[in-house]
Structure 1
């Protein structure tokens, strides 16, 4: 049986094209499209069946992606959501991950990687890019976790919050330079290149609970 998909995106032409693309993937079928989160919420509250995966845009009128994800976390926390957007700000991505989003893609993604992401979410429960996935194999993750100091773990938890690095420094009673050193040290130890990579590691290892 095909895995069901709902698209939430206010750009009608893009949503229609996305529907055609998804339906061309083996094992996936779009069952509905909505222009914003409010329409999705109404659909769910009316008792309609939940899809296997929701494809969620960020910038929408009435109820945007962030508000929609917050509602889903509160009311349907097990719902799998893949964000598909043009918004690539680290802060936005981190907030969406903290709200339980299972993956985050930009709209200029290649169709092959998009299909891979859908299958990864359905199979593993989440999607991260290949570099992060390779770096965080089970044995490597266990070893890297054991190597982290208490202060590095403290910094990692703060990195999963909405605090800026400057605010993290204040929370930890450290200079911004010292916090930068913690960040670069963790990048090296965990094999990641961004704050998003740190958050993905923390979520997968249960260091940070969403």
Structure 2
């Protein structure tokens, strides 16, 4: 059974272009196209099928992509949101991730990247391109004191590791800065991964941003 997709974009031609592309992919089917977030929510309420993926434009009248992502997370948590945008502004990327988006695509992306994004969100649960990862890691700063300790129940050393890991430092460099062995850093990493329910460094960074543990 093909994966089902809905698209929300107030630019009709853009929405139809994405719909036509998706329809050409094996194992994917477009349920409907909505004019904005409110239209999307209304159509979902009348539909007898919950889609697997929602392609959501950021700038829409009545209900923009940020609010739409929040609404979908609350009302339909199983829907994987992929953000669509004409811009690569860091604050927009981070805000959408915090609002539950599983990936961020520029509208000028290649057909192959769209396909990769759809495949990744269905198999991995997220799509984090090199561009997205670089934008997030490069702009991370220290979290508010106590945030990660209370949210993810990290101890002090795990907290220190998380802050350094949300940077471009290698694990070896983190070990040097923490004055511990690389094996000890491996232990911190595994503990943090387990407490944050992630499997990769990128996933750890994304979750830290999404839950407000790391602030811009």
TM-score for the superposition, normalised by structure 2: 0.65
Whole-angstrom CA distance in 2 between matches of 1:187 and 1:73? 30
- How many residues align? The count is 162
Q: How does 1:171-210 map to 2 (within 5 A)?
A: 186-189=167-170, 200-203=203-206, 209=211
Whole-angstrom CA distance in 2 between matches of 1:71 and 1:114? 24
Q: How does 1:144-155 map to 2 (within 5 A)?
A: 150-151=159-160, 153=162
Contact in 2 for aligned 1:117/1:127 (Cα 8 Å) = yes
The superposition leaves residues 128-171 of structure 1 with CA deviations (integer Å, 9 ceiling, x where unpaired) of 11585xxxxxxxxxxxxxxx763353xx4xxxxxxxxxxxxxxx
Whole-angstrom CA distance in 1 between matches of 2:50 and 2:26? 20
Residue 209 of structure 1, CA deviation: 4.5
> What are structure 1's unaligned runs of at least 5 residues?
133-147, 157-181, 191-197
Residue in structure 1 matched with residue 5 of structure 2 by the alignment: 5
Whole-angstrom CA distance in 1 between matches of 2:28 and 2:59? 25
> Once structures 1 and 2 are overlaid, which stretch shifts more, 6-15 or 82-91?
82-91
> What are structure 2's unaligned runs of at least 5 residues?
134-156, 172-200
Residue 199 of structure 1, CA deviation: 7.1
Residue in structure 2 matched with residue 22 of structure 1 by the alignment: 22
CA spacing shift, 1:108–1:209, aligned 2, 3 Å: same
Residue in structure 2 matched with residue 42 of structure 1 by the alignment: 42
Residue in structure 1 matched with residue 101 of structure 2 by the alignment: 101
- Partner of 2:118, secondary structure, is helix
RMSD: 3.0
TM-score for the superposition, normalised by structure 1: 0.67
Moved over 4 A (4+): 206-210
Whole-angstrom CA distance in 1 between matches of 2:27 and 2:160? 45
- Partner of 1:38, secondary structure, is helix
Contact in 2 for aligned 1:58/1:87 (Cα 8 Å) = no
- Partner of 1:118, secondary structure, is helix
Contact in 2 for aligned 1:19/1:30 (Cα 8 Å) = yes
Residue 78 of structure 1, CA deviation: 2.5
